Amino acid sequence: MKLKPAPVSTQVIQRDRHAEFLTTLAIIGATLEKIAIEVRHLQRTEVLEAEEYFSKGQKGSSAMPHKRNPIVSERIAGLARILRSNSIAALENVALWHERDISHSSVERVIVPDSCIALDYMLDLAVKLVSNLIIYPDNMFRNLNITRGLIFSQTILLKLVTKGLSREDSYRIVQDSAMKVWADDKLNLKDELLKSEEATKYISKDEVNEIFENKNMLSNVDFIFNRTINKD
């Protein structure tokens, strides 16, 4: 593990390195929790864009047989709290009387092994969670379309800017149509923009139609994915 002895120490070595280790574990745990919370949200009945694998005969709820609770994600989220709590205890251990009292010792006997074991378990859970995740693309498109075109408001705004308008004027024009759509669930942004005399002075019907094509919802997915995995 390439561990080295401290060059200078008293009877008790400085606890800052222990705190750094445990806060690092807590940060890793927080990242796993972030993934787990996203899965929990995506699995909600009204969203259902993704969900944990659910085996035949598995119980989701002891009282309600229909439920498919995201128990793995919930477990990861819960254990992340323990890692954060333990990191706070590690920080409390840094300041010692005359840099040599042993009040840290009883704490570390609990937090160091517990944090290591918990994170190892969480990593194993996270790998299984992601590897077996069930995805629902149709529901993703359904949810994207729930806003009736409002997700394209920024694209329209930027298009107006390229036509020579200021960002403030472009924002005002798009917001005017967007607020009408929010207020009436029978309206959609594309139609409202095409009815807007200000908007149509700068963008044509063909340009608006092209922006609102479904393929544009996913036009940058490959770019983002490749940018993420190819950091160099």
Give me the pLDDT at residue 10, please. Answer: 75
Q: Which CATH architecture has domain 16-136?
A: Up-down Bundle (1.20)
Give me the pLDDT at residue 66, please. Answer: 79
Give me the pLDDT at residue 148, please. Answer: 92
Residue 67, both tokens: 């439920």
Q: How far apart are CA 39 and CA 31, in angstroms?
A: 13
Q: How far apart are CA 188 and CA 147, in angstroms?
A: 8
Give me the pLDDT at residue 122, please. Answer: 98
Give me the pLDDT at residue 3, please. Answer: 83
Q: In the chain, what are the domain boundaries?
A: 16-136, 147-229
What are the start-end ranges of the E strands in the chain? 50-51, 134-135
Residue 227, both tokens: 């940018």
End-to-end CA distance of the chain: 27
3-state secondary structure of 6: coil
95: number of Cβ within 10 Å: 12
CATH class name, domain 147-229: mainly alpha
What pTM does this model have? 0.81
User: Which amino acid is residue 77, in one-letter code?
Assistant: A
3-state secondary structure of 134: strand
Each residue's pLDDT, cut to its tens digit, for the chain (232 residues) gives 888 888 887 777 889 999 999 999 999 999 999 999 999 999 999 999 999 998 787 777 778 877 888 999 999 999 999 999 999 999 999 998 987 888 999 999 999 999 999 999 999 999 999 999 999 999 998 998 898 999 899 999 999 999 988 999 999 999 999 999 999 989 999 999 999 988 988 998 999 988 888 666 777 888 888 888 876 6
Please state the φ and ψ torsions of residue 134, each to the nearest 5 degrees: -95, 130
